[in-house]
Chain A
Amino acid sequence: GEDVEQSLFLSVREGDSSVINCTYTDSSSTYLYWYKQEPGAGLQLLTYIFSNMDMKQDQRLTVLLNKKDKHLSLRIADTQTGDSAIYFCAEKTNAGKSTFGDGTTLTVKP
């Protein structure tokens, strides 16, 4: 079945780069997403990547996809305190649904 796994916590210093990792199991995944959730709020789409790509860059965000290893990462350059949040990895399969990981809580220390 579908499963998405992420490490639960990451702590970095302001100005450093953050790298959040995710693994998934469904080889039929068509799109992979990164969402951000701030306390008490809904999820906000940050970026997504199509499964035939291996990298996508959008300002401070870089997504790397290793389809062979079913590994996805999100790199945030020059991390700011406003980046503190929970980050969810998700995949969309051919069945049309999305499966979400449990989220990585990013803490940015000044």
Chain B
Amino acid sequence: DGGITQSPKYLFRKEGQNVTLSCEQNLNHDAMYWYRQDPGQGLRLIYYSQIVNDFQKGDIAEGYSVSREKKESFPLTVTSAQKNPTAFYLCASSAGTSGEQFFGPGTRLTVL
């Protein structure tokens, strides 16, 4: 089955620790995205990548980093510089002209 997976579903970390969220897709999509969702709010774009070995900052990139070494994978690191990291993180991928995005199930990060 083709799809996009995120792991883990729930993640707890102590304040001051870096943490990496996994995102993998087997849809052969060129573009991948990371969003942050806070309660009662919409999605805010953190980083996106339109092709392997290239990525761009989104609207709220401060305190986050990404890599895109393989087409299938786009991991997100939440660094200790991110002041308020507790949130629901969504990864997505897209391909084709119409650009509709396919989302993973999300990772809920809680920083204690």
Contact = CB atoms under 8 A, between A and B. Distances in A.
B79 interface: no
Interface of B: 6, 31, 33, 35, 40-43, 45, 48, 50, 58, 90, 92, 98-106, 108
B45 A97 contact: yes
A42 B100 contact: no
A30 B106 CA distance: 27
Interface residues of A, number: 23
A9 B101 CA distance: 24
Interface of A: 4, 8, 30-31, 33, 35, 40-45, 48, 50, 88, 92, 96-98, 100-103
B98 A42 contact: no
Nearest to A49: B98
Given A41-B105, A42-B105, A97-B48, A33 B42 contact: no
